[in-house]
Amino acid sequence: MSQIRLRIVGESVIELGSKRITPTSPQMFALLLFLGIECDREVPRAQLMDLLYPASQPSGDSSHRLRQLLYKLRGLGAPFVFGEGTVRLEGKHVRNEVTELLSASWEVRREQIARGFEVLPLYVPPSNSSLSAWAEQLREKLHSALRQQLTRDIELARQKADWRYLEAIARRTLELDPLNESAVLALAEAAGGIVVEECMRPRLHVLPKERQEMTAMLRLTRARFGRTGPIVAMHAGARNGQAKRWPTRHFAALADQLAEELDALVVVTGAPNEAPLAREIARTARHPLLNISGKTTLPQLIAILAESDVLVTGDSGPMHIACAVETPVVVMHGPTDPALSGPSSPDAIILRHKLWCSPCYDASSTAECRFGNPICMKAIAPRMVFAAVRKQLLAHGSLTHQDADNIGERSAQLLP
């Protein structure tokens, strides 16, 4: 049995033993590419016929051509395993260049600079075909993974003051992602520019009318709830994936602890489609909170976050807004990488468990746990988040140690 190597970064070549197969042999190349990416999976022959041959051809002819192709490749040493109507390539016989580059040291990726990091360059399957759609999805997924790794390499090159490598890796990153901010700034720095960290963080202006409206609302709510402590905003939603969400029961438990120990006014934000999450938090919590999910405009949301003493959230849009109005944040990360997703604030507190499967999000699809149980977020306990919130409040002067002690004693007397 021959080893199969997918050389698909910077070139489009599949090595089958000593034989090099390129897109000039379209069906042979496509079959090895698909089975190599899907290695260890029993792939139905019907799926392979749909990928390799036009649907207009008679099924019998497609079946005959596929059978001929499989036996020809097997004769060249391809380690196929045939099942009942299926074909499988054993993973132990397949080497994927993308996987190797991502797991290798930065020195290995440095050697790849000359060839670039484009996946399957110049490979163009027939348009409007199942194979074309699959190849495009593959490119997007692998480009996303490579972009994330190259962004880390940019920071490493900057730390090493290796300006030649910094420029080269930044240019290659921009080929995959023309709007990559880290790569643009790296090019400027490699050319001798001085990148001021303060200028790297976004800023948002709060409109006076919205600030006045939100300030008045918060003042009235404080009086209605009898709260004298800090204002803690919470955002439970995440627009592109369930796995990025901290459980609503954890938010409710945190809200109760904030009310009982810090006499905090808790404000739950969210878009209209996130309102059910906010209602669940309000229903589960024992103490009243201000639920404005789905009830604010974007300028009002900016104002409410600017008026808050701290925001508690997962990887979300309000996380970036809070950083842009200089509100302290406590962020729970699970499937996403904070080095890539933010927060951008240098004093942000990031809570995450470094599990073997985390981070797993590659931006090519929504963030869903492949095991159906995002333990990376569930395992972040409310008491951990409360400690982080208290730390932020103390650090930014929204709470003093004496305030915390006095509020705790007073709350113990007033709250049931």
73-103 pLDDT, tens digit each: 999 999 999 999 999 999 999 999 999 999 9
Average the pLDDT over 162-184 and give the result. Answer: 89
Q: What is the pLDDT of residue 399?
A: 80
Q: Is the peptide bond before 359 cis (omega within 30 degrees of 0)?
A: yes
Q: What is the pLDDT of residue 47?
A: 92
- Residue-wise pLDDT for 257-310, tens only, equals 999 999 999 999 999 999 999 999 999 999 999 999 999 999 999 999 999 999
All structural domains of the chain: 4-98 (1.10.10.10), 104-200 (no CATH), 208-414 (3.40.50.2000)
- Residue 48, SS3? helix
Q: What is the pLDDT of residue 403?
A: 63
Q: What is the pLDDT of residue 415?
A: 38
- Residue-wise pLDDT for 221-267, tens only, equals 999 999 999 999 999 998 777 889 999 999 999 999 999 999 999 99
The percent of residues in the chain predicted with pLDDT above 90, rounded, is: 62
Q: Say if CB 306 and CB 206 are below 8 A apart.
A: yes
Q: What is the pLDDT of residue 190?
A: 87
- Residue 63, SS3? helix
Q: Is the peptide bond before 26 cis (omega within 30 degrees of 0)?
A: no
- Residue-wise pLDDT for 338-370, tens only, equals 877 889 888 999 999 988 888 887 766 677 888
What span, in angstroms and rounded, lies between the C-alpha atoms of 85 and 172? 43
- Residue-wise pLDDT for 116-136, tens only, equals 999 999 899 887 788 998 999
Q: Which pTM was predicted?
A: 0.61
First to last CA, the chain: 73
Cα angle 172, 176, 182; round to 5: 70
Q: Say if CB 346 and CB 365 are below 8 A apart.
A: no
Dihedral (Cα; 167, 169, 174, 176), 10-degree rounding = 170
Least Cα distance to 267 among 220, 299, 205 occurs for 220
CA atoms within 13 A on the CB side of 305: 32
β-strand pairing of 86-89 with 80-82 = antiparallel
